[in-house]
Structure formats: structure tokens, C-alpha cells
Amino acid sequence: MLTVCRRQRIEWGDCDPAGIVYFPRYFEYFDISTVGLFEAVGYRKPELLKAFDCAGFPVVDVRANFIRPSAFGEDVEIYSTIPEWGRSSFKVHHRLMKAGQLAVEGFETRVWVGHDASRPGGIAARPLPVELFERFRHG
């Protein structure tokens, strides 16, 4: 199973008045890390969407366990992996580590979608491309 590590410096704008990361920022970090998984198998997001005529892979379920706070100026590492693939959805697991200790654990369910011709501007779930499974399986 492919795991990608991304380093993140906690910036001033990531923090609330108490000086710790404002919780929605973690979900932004996780979103960036999910895109990084696809980059690791050779697909930058613009090329991925074009290559598979995809409208995106929006989050349909997300949650996190907040264990230790992170503060301005700290460096953290985010380890991301896709532990489960469905027909048109996949789950992503993120582990944000601070000084070697788990600080935040995030879980996403995403759906692979295409443009829905029956509804202008609409989207609909599509089967995940087999080529993606192969890329993740064989790197």
C-alpha cells in the first residue's frame, strides 16, 4: 500500500487567537495530501482530471481525531494512504505527526465523479479507472 509523506510548516495564518492550528486547516492539509497521493503515481491533478474526463473526487464523509495541538512555526509530517478502494469511491487515511508523535488522524471518503449530461452543471459518480488501481498497486 502506497504511503506518501508531506511536510507542512504551521504558518501564522493557520492558527486561531490561542496560537494553535484552527481545526478546519487540518482538513485543507489533508486535501492537499490526497492530491499528493495521485502525484506520487504520476498524475498532477489537472492532468488527472483531463486524462480520465473526471470532474473531481469530492469528499462525502470526513472526520478527524485531534490528539495534540500544533502551533505556529512547528513542522509536521502528514502520512497519507488509500487503504480501501470501492467501485466509485475510495477512503483516505491521514496521520499528522509532530515530533514523531501522532497529533491528528484524519479519515476521508471520496467519490470519483464526472459531469452529468442530464443536469447542466451537475456531477455523478463514475467507476474508478482501472489504470489508477494499477498505478497504486505497482507504483
Domain ranges of the chain: 3-138
- pLDDT tens digits for range 51-97: 999 999 999 999 999 999 999 999 999 999 999 999 999 999 999 99
CA distances (Å), origin 37, targets 11, 17, 50, 83: 23, 32, 17, 12
Q: In angstroms, rounded to a whole number, what is the distance separating the alpha carbons of residues 108 and 63?
A: 7
- Protein fold of 3-138: Thiol Ester Dehydrase; Chain A (3.10.129)
Q: What number of H helices and E strands is found in the chain?
A: 3, 7
Instruction: Provide the whole-model pTM.
Output: 0.94
Please list, in sequence order, all residues whose beta carbon lies within 8 angstroms of the beta carbon of residue 19, skipping any fewer than 6 positions away: 71, 72
**Cell matching residue 25:** 486547516
The dihedral region occupied by 115, where left means phi > 0, alpha psi between -120 and 50, and beta the remainder, is: beta
What would the mean pLDDT of 100-107 be, rounded to a whole number?
98
Pair 84, 91: CB distance under 8 Å: yes
Comparing 64 with 1, which gets the higher pLDDT? 64
